[in-house]
Amino acid sequence: MASIPVNVEQNHETGVDGKGIIRVILADTQAIFRAGLRKIFALEDDIRVVGQAETLAQTLSASKKFSADVLIFESALAPNPAEAVADLVKQSPEVRLVVVTPDSNEELTLELFRRGAHGIVSREVEPELLVECLRKVAAGETWLDSQGVHWVMEAYRTQSLRPTGSRPKVQLTPKEALIVSCVTQGMKNKEIAARVGTTEQVVKNYLRKVYDKLGVADRLELALYCLNHHVVDGTKIPPLPVSGNGHAAAAAAGASSSGSASGAATSPAPPFPEKLS
């Protein structure tokens, strides 16, 4: 079968390359699957397909040549999908990878996650879930289904994903421990700021420092690491401040109850949802 060249859509509408537009490269062996995804994404105002590929070589070329936010990568494109993911992450670190797998596989899921995949979905994923996955991943979050989260949690608990000695033992400051404890309880930055008595930007700054200290990439890895290593055991989270009319506390509480923080666990054995949001 002759290979097709990388195909790129040029869209000159105002804002296509601006804030809020998710630029996607489709890398899949099946033209019919790529065509189906293009039709799905065409219905979304914030998603644009900027390129496609049907071989690993074309995928590497496309991710280097074209400006994209997310690469949808079929695992069957490479004999060793995990190595291919590592190569893509190294070559284009600014592009976030969503890997499409033929079915749920524990070993492959863990290896893809370890090598840098930002999202993993089944080939049978519902269109609306895939669209939501793209938006979450493009926003810097991690996407795994409930089975995948379970595998990752168990791997961390048994030290089979990353050896304990691979990260230095560090000591968090009291403020860092407090903020991290809030993250492991599923709180978003808005509520954390309200409880700690600071601003959302300060919370973000603290979290970036903690990521660097612990060698984690996002809130999901942070929560898993802290639960596994008992980093914030015993840290007491202050209650929400109560204003005169109670509106501030209610708003912050509502923000927390509307959805857990990106991939954050909610207890030592958290009931993760079907997707991380």
Tell which CATH architecture fits domain 169-257. Answer: Orthogonal Bundle (1.10)
Whether 22-156 shares its CATH topology with 169-257 is answered: no
Report mean pLDDT in 10-residue bins for the chain, 277 residues: 41 45 94 93 94 94 92 94 91 92 85 88 91 92 85 68 51 87 84 90 90 82 77 75 50 43 37 34
Q: Domain 22-156 carries which CATH code?
A: 3.40.50.2300
Give residue 177's pLDDT: 87
Domain ranges of the chain: 22-156, 169-257
Q: What is the pTM of this model?
A: 0.56
Greatest alpha-carbon pair distance for the chain in Å reads 71
Give residue 158's pLDDT: 63
Q: Per the structure block, which two tokens stand in for 129? A: 């879930």
Give residue 232's pLDDT: 76
